[in-house]
Amino acid sequence: MSNPSPAVSPDQYVASLARRRMAAGALFRDEAGRVLLVEPTYKPNWEIPGGAVEKEESPPAACHREVVEEIGLDRPVGRVLAVDWVPSRPERPEGLILIYDGGVLEADAIAAIRLKVDELASYAFVEAERVGELVSDLLARRIAACLDAVAAGTTLSLENGFPIG
């Protein structure tokens, strides 16, 4: 019989845990039900407002900060629509993405949108069936799932944009 492994200290255990990137975004719609997409200046695909969660920042705080920075709207963060685990890729580690309900923007809120010009070229409200023409396949799946979550009044768990469970 072999000797059991020596006990691992709490510090060693914590140091051995996986590190994941985390991001948070907001799903906004207009009164016609179209999805707000923003056009980044630094990559080909459109996105929803949001971005990386910084060190010691909560996901809802990151979502709020990113929305204010990117589109100039200072609004409360709504409920979580989806939590999406995405596997690693050669260019980035695995991640956890949280999408919050940004709600329905009325005309006055839309008129108040101010883009972060060094980061975003434009924005558009896009019909759900056309979202996939502008965003990555992963984000198209995630947005479709979030729209389902809005309709059902629920929160979805996703893996790489696909609902699980």
Q: Pairing state of beta strands 120-126 and 35-40?
A: antiparallel
Percent of the chain having pLDDT more than 90? 83
CA dist 18 and 12 (Å) reads: 12
Which pLDDT belongs to residue 111? 98
pLDDT in tens, 38-83: 999 999 999 999 999 999 999 999 999 999 999 999 999 999 999 9
What's the pTM value of the predicted model, to 2 decimals?
0.90
Amino acid identity, position 35: V
How wide is the angle at C-alpha 132 spanned by C-alphas 130 and 137, nearest 5°?
170
The verdict on residue 31 lying in a domain is: yes
The number of distinct structural domains making up the chain is: 1
pLDDT band for position 14 (50/70/90)?
Answer: confident
The verdict on residue 54 lying in a domain is: yes
The verdict on residue 7 lying in a domain is: no
The verdict on residue 2 lying in a domain is: no
CA dist 105 and 112 (Å) reads: 10
Which pLDDT belongs to residue 84? 98
CATH number at residue 63: 3.90.79.10
